[in-house]
Amino acid sequence: MLVCLPVLAQSTKQYLTVGELPKVAGKRSASVQVKIPVSVQAGFHVNSNTPSDEYLIPLKVTWKSTGALEGGQIAYPKPSLEKYEFAEKPLSVFTGDFSVVANFKVAANAPAGPGVAVGQLRYQACNDRACFPPRTIEISLPYQVQ
């Protein structure tokens, strides 16, 4: 039982953080986009949105429907191919600071005024020796329909 405690303690640690999102504003039927600032702790990496093997958990951003903003394409940065001792072939990963770009369309019938779109960023962090349980971070995007 004592052997499990260090692993459990590590599994609650945040290896990836999402910065504050700027408020977006747009008119009905207009397209808007936001850069989501992401930072991976030094010494760690997360699998890219297109991991090297199907069993690896990709970084993925999803949005819940608000009725006012319709989620569109998510643009991920170009991943790095990194070789780690625990893998036979290079892995497609993100490290350090990067941005994910989320595109939206303001609904034609969106009510004027402020709101908040809620999304999730799911990832699996690893270091050069092990991978940790996947985590999901909630993202809040303030918006203004003009």
pLDDT digits (tens, 9 = 90+) for 70-128: 989 999 999 999 998 878 899 999 999 999 999 999 999 999 999 999 999 999 999 98
Domain presence at residue 21: yes
The count of structural domains within the chain is 1
Residue 4 lies in a domain: no
Residue from 62, 77, 68, 87 nearest 142 by CA: 68
In a domain, 72, yes or no: yes
Structural domain span for residue 46: 14-145
Q: For the sheet containing 135-145, what is the strand order?
A: 24-26, 135-145, 113-123, 60-63
Q: CA–CA separation, 69 vs 111, rounded Å?
A: 10
Average pLDDT over residues 53-66: 93
CA distance 25 to 48: 29
Residue 93 to residues 14, 40, 112, 117, 138, Cα–Cα distance (Å): 17, 11, 40, 27, 21
Q: What is the pLDDT of residue 14?
A: 83
Structural domain includes residue 133: yes
Residue 36 belongs to a domain with what CATH number? 2.60.40.10
Decide: 15 and 41 in contact? Cβ < 8 Å: yes
The verdict on pTM exceeding 0.75 is yes
